């Protein structure tokens, strides 16, 4: 007879591990941000690549970490922005961050849907695969929040073959909420 996982085993499996990219299915990147903050509190270095403007990110989440804003428009000298079609520039930034130190690192890529809309799924999948090769051989974990309805079934299958899923539509991120709660005690 098969043994069932204990609650503690399931909660432990929620923690993202170094060397992996994780998709987090959620309408807004709230769980991803909480996991990101937890990893920062544990001493990880952090990098955020996001559609959210730097000032808003600081105001809403209190995060003061390197941040790349995904934007097509002009920005000022104080905000580092990358055009969504400049994927090799993004890869260079990510690569430099990964190799910058021997410390554990966490990357949050919030804006996959935007990148797909500005490129195409195949191009973004090749970008994820390229980044994944580097993440797999480093002390880095990468979180990619994605709206549960943003990808069709074929795209989800392709993506989930390449990266891990930290939460699913089915569990509605409930287990992640429980895990985060258990970590703050």
**pLDDT on residue 166:** 86
Q: pLDDT per residue over 118-145, tens digit each?
A: 999 999 999 999 999 999 999 999 999 9
Q: Is residue 12's pLDDT more than 60?
A: no
Here the tokens at position 110 are 């919030």
Alpha helices (runs of H) in the chain, residue ranges in sequence order: 7-12, 30-41, 54-61, 87-98, 112-118, 121-136, 153-162, 174-183
- Measure the CA dihedral 95/101/105/108, to 10°: -40
Average pLDDT, the chain: 84
Q: pLDDT per residue over 26-38, tens digit each?
A: 999 999 999 999 9
- CATH class of the domain defined by 15-178: alpha beta
Nearest to 98 by CA among 23, 163, 45, 32: 45
> What end-to-end distance do the CA atoms of the chain give, in Å?
34
Phi, psi of 23 (to 5 degrees): -85, 135
Instruction: Kindly report the pTM of this predicted structure.
Output: 0.82
**pLDDT on residue 80:** 82
């Amino acid at each position: 007879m098969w043994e069932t996982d204990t609650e503690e085993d399931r909660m432990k499996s929620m923690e993202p591990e170094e060397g992996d990219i994780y998709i987090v299915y959620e309408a807004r990147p709230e769980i991803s941000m909480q996991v990101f903050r937890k990893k920062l509190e544990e001493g990880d270095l952090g990098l955020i690549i996001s559609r959210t403007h730097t000032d808003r990110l600081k105001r809403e989440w209190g995060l003061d970490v390197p941040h790349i804003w995904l934007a097509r428009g002009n920005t000022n000298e104080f905000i580092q922005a990358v055009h969504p079609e400049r994927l090799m520039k993004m890869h260079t930034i990510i690569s430099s961050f990964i190799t910058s130190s021997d410390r554990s690192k966490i990357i949050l890529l919030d804006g996959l849907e935007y990148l797909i809309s500005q490129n195409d799924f195949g191009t973004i999948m090749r970008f994820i695969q390229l980044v994944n090769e580097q993440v797999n051989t480093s002390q880095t974990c990468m979180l990619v929040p994605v709206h549960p309805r943003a990808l069709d079934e074929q795209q989800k299958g392709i993506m989930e073959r390449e990266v891990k899923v930290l939460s699913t539509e089915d569990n509605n991120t409930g287990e992640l909420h429980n895990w985060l709660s258990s970590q703050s005690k």
